Structure 1
Amino acid sequence: MHVASNVASIGMPGSDARRDIDSVADTGFEGIRLLVKWSDIESVEGILDWSRVDREMAWAAERNLAVLGVLTWAPTWAVPADYALVTHPAPASAERFAQFVSAAASRYRDQVGAWEIWNEPNVAASYGPSANPVQYCDVLSASSAAIREAAPGALVITGPTSPAVDSSNDLSPATFVEALYRCAGAETFDAVAMHPYSSPQLLSEPTEPWSSAHEIAKVRAVMESHGDAGKRIWFTEFGAPTTNSGVDEQRQADILVDGITTLTQLPYAGPVFVFDFRDSMTGSTVPDYNYGLVRSDYTPKPALDAVRAFVG
């Protein structure tokens, strides 16, 4: 699995998850990144509904797609009451989250080769109300132990970092990863993950001190300083949105070609996952809904052929 794809659009109302997964395979991708959301599966405490994820895993298996699972998002009953209005609040109990992790890892141990623990935990938008590496270390440690017991062959990947600078609510990738080594320890994970977005710039042409190209180098330096150079960095989201506030479709293709080329040439690179395969809602003003290689109606953008050169 060298270059793979996200399929975030399958979570949108009216989406055709099977068609999206089949399209990923038909394009030539060998792997897929699937969200396994605690908030959906156990929305009521003690009642677990795996049906949606079961279907997605089965469809991926039918197409021989390697699966990276993302264990993330807490249901409202599992977060502190004062976090209720936070978009994606951190779980109140690392141990309770790890129970869910154990159940998922056991259920999908024959289908999932690697698990990410949470999504973008270095920023408040994904680990509210603010990034808390010490608390996340508890989540990572408990989840890692659960996976290693339930699915010994699966890799444990750190929660992927979002581009950010150090502030009261967010932590830069390098600061966050440094904290993981100090409070969780290298033994709790098999690889580090990042989301090295660069849009509207090319990844290979960083323009700011906090640009993702610089941050990748800083994270790698942290790993080496802890004697962990044998591990890889997985780049589990990379892309650009085709919106008025983003880039045009040709620029999206250029960013993807440059980024995939830059990332795969790194000697310590793990897989690179394109974000996203299909637009969730083409024409929406929401950037996140317009990252697809294809539009909502499956018509291709220039990025599809551009990325196809790296797969298959």
Structure 2
Amino acid sequence: MSASAALTAFQDMRSTGAQWVRLDCNYAGNVSSHGGATIQTIKEARAAGLNVLVILGDGTAPIPESAGYQATNGWLTITVKQLAALGVHTFEIGNEVNLGANWSGTPNPAAYTALLKTVYPMIHAADPQASVLMAGMAPYGKESPTRSAQYGNYHPFDFIYQMYKAGAHGYFDAVNLHPYSYPTMPAVSDGGYNMLSVLPDLLSIMASNGDSGKKIWLTEAGLPTGTDGGYPSYSVAQQQQTITQLFQVAATYPQIGPVFLYDWQDGSSDGDFGLYTTNHTKKPSYATFAGINY
């Protein structure tokens, strides 16, 4: 996407009432070109009036990635200071760390907690205004009969529980979930895969660890209208229903912070999670999203 096209897209997002955009910023590269969003792209998001949540990490290496965050060129400190100067103060450490696919083996809540203990003070030292989110936790499994790790993955709430046991309290500023629930709609209980339907269980875990005042961000959610990426395909009407119910459920919990919809545009002509098709045609779900009362 060219610089002007990116700015136009960000302005379009802002025109819907959206206040945030979530962008990668990877250390596999230099400070101006990270293998994720460039500094120029982030500047354009800010110019469009959007707040930016930056995922700090490296898509080329598995978690816990500790060495990369402490790269010899001081990547993390330099980047956080540079982004803070642009008005970017919100950072997320890694992505969906409760899934084995993002590790070289089974997810390790203690190792991820150690990573937070490394980077959290570095980020706050570089930017005293910073807010640090844990990685967004992916949906996996159900609450019954157990939340424990199965088949190389953790139920998101169990991963967070194990993080607390490893001493994560005080090393993140907000909890972070990816409450995909399809084929179940966000307002429907399904035994726990739809994590929004059992959110009180997470609130209990947080409260028992002294974090009842922390926000829960929802940084990915949505529904695919095509088979790109190997996902099942659902109708645009179901996508619209998902969007509507997602924000309705979120509004019932004062603890829930910003809600991010995934995604803006389809990744291929086979269709995907976007509000736009690949030829930049709006799906009816665009109007649904634009009609949300933020």
Q: TM-score range by the shorter chain?
A: 0.7 to 0.9
Partner of 2:8, secondary structure, is helix
More relative contact order in 1 or in 2 (CA 8 Å, sep 6+)?
1
Q: Does 1:203 align with 2:192?
A: no
Partner of 1:135, secondary structure, is helix
Q: Does 1:172 align with 2:148?
A: no
- Deviations, residues 238-287 of structure 1 (Å, cap 9, x unaligned): 10010252211111011111111111221211100011111121315xxx
Change in CA separation of 1:74 and 1:142 when aligned onto 2, cut-off 3 Å: farther
> Normalising by the residue count of structure 2, what TM-score does the alignment of the two structures yield?
0.86
Conserved? CA contact 1:120–1:127, under 8 Å: no
Change in CA separation of 1:240 and 1:109 when aligned onto 2, cut-off 3 Å: same
Write the distance in 2 (CA, Å) between the matches of 1:196 and 1:146: 29
* 1:148 matched residue in structure 2: 124
Write the distance in 1 (CA, Å) between the matches of 2:285 and 2:59: 34
CA positional deviation for 1:217: 2.8
Partner of 1:171, secondary structure, is coil
Q: Does 1:61 align with 2:35?
A: no
Q: How does 1:275-294 map to 2 (within 5 A)?
A: 275-283=262-270, 290-294=272-276
Write the distance in 1 (CA, Å) between the matches of 2:120 and 2:237: 41
> Normalising by the residue count of structure 1, what TM-score does the alignment of the two structures yield?
0.82
Write the distance in 2 (CA, Å) between the matches of 1:20 and 1:180: 37
1:186 counterpart (163, 169, 185): 169
CA positional deviation for 1:148: 0.5
Conserved? CA contact 1:36–1:69, under 8 Å: yes
CA positional deviation for 1:223: 0.2
CA positional deviation for 1:138: 1.4
* 1:287 matched residue in structure 2: none
Q: How does 1:12-91 map to 2 (within 5 A)?
A: 16-39=5-28, 42=29, 47-50=30-33, 52-75=37-60, 88=62, 90-91=64-65
Write the distance in 1 (CA, Å) between the matches of 2:106 and 2:68: 16
Conserved? CA contact 1:20–1:278, under 8 Å: no
Write the distance in 2 (CA, Å) between the matches of 1:152 and 1:203: 36
Partner of 1:57, secondary structure, is helix
**What number of residue pairs does the alignment pair up?**
279
Change in CA separation of 1:283 and 1:208 when aligned onto 2, cut-off 3 Å: same
Partner of 1:93, secondary structure, is helix
Write the distance in 2 (CA, Å) between the matches of 1:189 and 1:226: 13
Partner of 1:28, secondary structure, is coil
Q: How does 1:112-261 map to 2 (within 5 A)?
A: 112-165=88-141, 166-243=149-226, 245-261=232-248
CA positional deviation for 1:74: 5.0
Partner of 2:119, secondary structure, is helix
Write the distance in 2 (CA, Å) between the matches of 1:137 and 1:185: 5
CA positional deviation for 1:71: 0.8
* 2:145 matched residue in structure 1: none
Write the distance in 1 (CA, Å) between the matches of 2:238 and 2:50: 29
Conserved? CA contact 2:31–2:78, under 8 Å: no
* TM-align CA RMSD: 2.5
What is the percentage of aligned positions where both structures have the same residue? 24
Q: How does 1:83-102 map to 2 (within 5 A)?
A: 88=62, 90-91=64-65, 93=67, 96=70, 99-102=74-77
Change in CA separation of 1:182 and 1:127 when aligned onto 2, cut-off 3 Å: same
Partner of 1:64, secondary structure, is coil
2:11 aligned partner, one-letter code? D
Conserved? CA contact 2:24–2:54, under 8 Å: yes
CA positional deviation for 1:108: 0.3
CA positional deviation for 1:181: 1.8
* 1:105 matched residue in structure 2: 80
CA positional deviation for 1:38: 2.2
2:54 aligned partner, one-letter code? G
Partner of 2:246, secondary structure, is helix
Write the distance in 1 (CA, Å) between the matches of 2:279 and 2:290: 19
Write the distance in 2 (CA, Å) between the matches of 1:207 and 1:49: 44
1:17 aligned partner, one-letter code? A
Conserved? CA contact 1:240–1:291, under 8 Å: yes
Change in CA separation of 1:97 and 1:246 when aligned onto 2, cut-off 3 Å: farther
Change in CA separation of 1:236 and 1:221 when aligned onto 2, cut-off 3 Å: same
- Deviations, residues 119-163 of structure 1 (Å, cap 9, x unaligned): 111111223332111111111111111111001101011111000
CA positional deviation for 1:311: 4.8
Following TM superposition, where does structure 1 have runs of at least 4 consecutive aligned residues deviating by more than 4 angstroms?
A: 13-16
CA positional deviation for 1:14: 12
- Deviations, residues 76-98 of structure 1 (Å, cap 9, x unaligned): xxx5xxxxxxxx45426376269
